[in-house]
Structure 1
Amino acid sequence: MSTSEPLISIIVPVYNAEKYLPYCIKSILGQSYRNLEVILVDDGAKDSSPQICDSYAAKDSRIKVIHQENGGIGKAQNAGLDAAHGDYIAFADNDDILDRCNIELLLHALLDSGADMSKARWRQFGISQINQIAELAQQSIYRPEKVSIIKNPLHAYQTVFCKTLRLIGNILKQNTEAKYFNEANWCRLYKRELWNGIRFPEGMYAQDVMVAGKLYSRMSKVADVNHILYFWLQSPESVTHNERSFKFFHDNVIAGVSNFNFAIDNGILPKRSFYTMTTLLKQENESPDLASNFALQKKDTAQVKSALQRLTKTQKIQCQILTAIRLCEKKIYDIKIKNRK
């Protein structure tokens, strides 16, 4: 691959992932697109992850390792953004696996369409499947796939988030799966300038939610590749599936309120953010350490109440219906995760 082709910076926050990190790094180094800058940010890991990072860096000059004191994923992602030299930016979680054509297909879609960001589909897998998935990802062969152009991604982000309705939309030939946006930063390729002046809040669980609205509002169009290009490890012990502290719920409530108000200010009905802030506020009230955070909980409740007052009665009913659908889906999803091996 000629170095005249654009440089892609892939940022990987690393923390206590020694069991899975080699799979992730190998999947990145094995990309069909070769002009990469791989930034591994060791966020004060306590296991052998730092040594694994250094070992791979010694073998491949495309890897840059940053060692820092533990500060959370937001701080690690910011360190990667500050160190990145690429024309385009990608992220990966340290326990996930990239299809070998991930970067090539995402870049091709982005350049062909003139979009601000490209994204693709992903597949979940359990720990017992990791060797099978790693082999599958490396066997991928480049082939042109259907690319859809989505305009006004902020609107899509706030409205198309229930899996049930996406499936119905696809059956009705509405291409709704292509219109699905979430807060995850992986399986995307961003123009570098989208991140100018935007950084993740540090020390916060919902760092990706906090920047989602601002990022999407900067995009005029997004290219969606109808192909699985990313494999997402589902572990019952992960923070997403296991964390139940007051701070976890509080951070998500604050992020939900922030995105809710941002959407309203931009003339968009924030159906997703309604779901986020109302359901997480309820879970916040049930957190085991609520008693020591009662004053903050009252403040969160007031912020959610104030935000909801910006909706008409009809708008609130629309949001409540989608929230009920999404909660049913989440119960099914949680059961699957707990039973995944």
Structure 2
Amino acid sequence: MTNEKVSILMPFRNTEAYLRECLDSILQQDYPFWELIAVDDHSKDSSYVLISEYQKSDPRIKLLKNNGRGIIMALRTAFQASSGSLVTRMDSDDIMVPGKLSVMLGALQKSGRGHVSLGLVRYFSAKGISEGYKMYENWLNRLTREGSNFKERYKECVIPSPCWMVYKDDLLKCGAFDTNRYPEDYDLAFRMYEAGLKCLPSENVLHLWRDYSTRTSRTSPDYANNTFLELKIHYFLRHDLDNMRPLLLWGAGNKGKTVAKLLLENDTKFHWVCDNPKKTGKKIYGQPLRPYKDKMNWSDTPQSIITVANSTAQKQIRSYLDARSLTEMTDYFFFC
């Protein structure tokens, strides 16, 4: 393993309670050739003072103030100050597993540029992990074990935001942190896919992801469901919509209605189907809802966006579409 420098980008805001554990986990990494660029996003607690204490004893730590506001500007500030040939991220309330940097770097050096190195993640919380977060952890880790993360890119964010590493020039090809689109980690995942980066499979738990009630992803409107759906529609229309085929939207719940509104805002025509007899035959946003077995919907082999969240219903829909020789991620796309 050559001694390439790894730049660790770490925005922070009011995470004093968790910072020592986070910083100690970085200092204890067996790979020593790193720089930590910690950017204060207008903290009101003693986070900045705490990191400045660590900085005095380790010159690898750089401490900056955010040039603007919010995590995107903080990441942009950190990236502009980075000097490593490789880049990774860290959340200031999380913990690096011992050996994280060396494992991810080793995988990248073996495979070369054009790849993103990943690791498995594990949620932890003083109050226990909810079923929803456990399901996300299991789903994300399954993809990471296979290196097939981008195959399910419209469901949720397929790259663990604090557990990836890339060569700096590959990150620049992706646009790094130049866009102002939230959720920023999900947007970056789409741009990594767009740039043709390949995910390296991993069997190692490398990151401990802390959950608590006031974490940014729980409290900020930048991470609300509608922003995720806006992002999905943006990239679906950009990458996967076939304008020569009809488009079907499955489901008329909250997500289905939001997706319908976004499609209409983007002047994208679609047919709307669901299996709820209370809704079929009616109109929402001026769009009629039809039973999904209506033959007229299948005459031109449409593409489908599926917003139905129920796992049993998803299996039924997948079987129905597969029986018509339709292929996932070409002919149909699960948005949840």
TM-score category, normalised to shorter length: 0.5 to 0.7
Match of 1:94 among 86, 92, 95: 92
Deviation at 1:280, TM superposition (A): 5.3
* Structure 1: distance between partners of 2:29 and 2:232: 35
Superimposed CA distance per residue, residues 79-102 of structure 1 (whole angstroms, 9 cap, x where no aligned partner): 111111111110011100000110
Match of 1:325 among 302, 311, 324: 311
More helix by share: 1
2:169 counterpart of 1:193: yes
* Structure 1: distance between partners of 2:231 and 2:176: 14
- Give the residue type in structure 2 aligned to 1:262: R
Contact 2:67 2:74 in 1 (8 A): no
1:97-112 superposed matches below 5 A = 97-112=95-110
* Equivalent residue, structure 1, for 2:38: 40
Contact 2:89 2:164 in 1 (8 A): yes
* Equivalent residue, structure 2, for 1:55: 53
* Structure 1: distance between partners of 2:98 and 2:104: 11
Seen in structure 2, the aligned counterparts of structure 1 residues 202 and 264 have a Cα distance that, compared at 3 Å, is closer
Match of 2:153 among 140, 150, 158: 158
Q: Which stretches of structure 1, 4 residues or longer, exceed 6 Å deviation after superposition? A: none
2:116 counterpart of 1:123: no
* Structure 1: distance between partners of 2:77 and 2:222: 27
* Structure 2: distance between partners of 1:251 and 1:326: 26
* Structure 1: distance between partners of 2:58 and 2:116: 28
* Equivalent residue, structure 2, for 1:174: none
* Structure 2: distance between partners of 1:78 and 1:120: 23
1:254-333 superposed matches below 5 A = 254-264=230-240, 300=262, 302-303=264-265, 306=268, 319-320=306-307, 323-325=309-311
Deviation at 1:41, TM superposition (A): 0.7
Seen in structure 2, the aligned counterparts of structure 1 residues 157 and 326 have a Cα distance that, compared at 3 Å, is farther
* Equivalent residue, structure 2, for 1:209: 186
Deviation at 1:279, TM superposition (A): 5.5
Contact 2:120 2:203 in 1 (8 A): yes
- Give the residue type in structure 2 aligned to 1:222: C
Seen in structure 2, the aligned counterparts of structure 1 residues 69 and 118 have a Cα distance that, compared at 3 Å, is closer
* Equivalent residue, structure 1, for 2:77: 79
Contact 2:11 2:40 in 1 (8 A): yes
Superimposed CA distance per residue, residues 180-217 of structure 1 (whole angstroms, 9 cap, x where no aligned partner): x7143311111111221514367654122223212122
Aligned length: 265
Contact 2:8 2:36 in 1 (8 A): yes
* Structure 2: distance between partners of 1:215 and 1:203: 16
Contact 2:67 2:77 in 1 (8 A): no
Match of 1:225 among 184, 192, 202: 202
Deviation at 1:38, TM superposition (A): 0.6
* Structure 2: distance between partners of 1:58 and 1:232: 27
* Structure 1: distance between partners of 2:222 and 2:119: 33
- Give the residue type in structure 2 aligned to 1:259: Y
2:238 counterpart of 1:252: no
Secondary structure in 2 matching 1:11:
strand
* Structure 1: distance between partners of 2:10 and 2:63: 10
* Equivalent residue, structure 2, for 1:8: 6
TM-score by length of 2: 0.66
* Equivalent residue, structure 1, for 2:318: none
- Give the residue type in structure 2 aligned to 1:224: P
Q: Percent identical across equivalent pairs? A: 22
* Structure 1: distance between partners of 2:108 and 2:167: 9
* Equivalent residue, structure 2, for 1:29: 27
Secondary structure in 2 matching 1:262:
helix
TM-score by length of 1: 0.65
CA RMSD of aligned residues (A): 3.8
* Equivalent residue, structure 2, for 1:64: 62
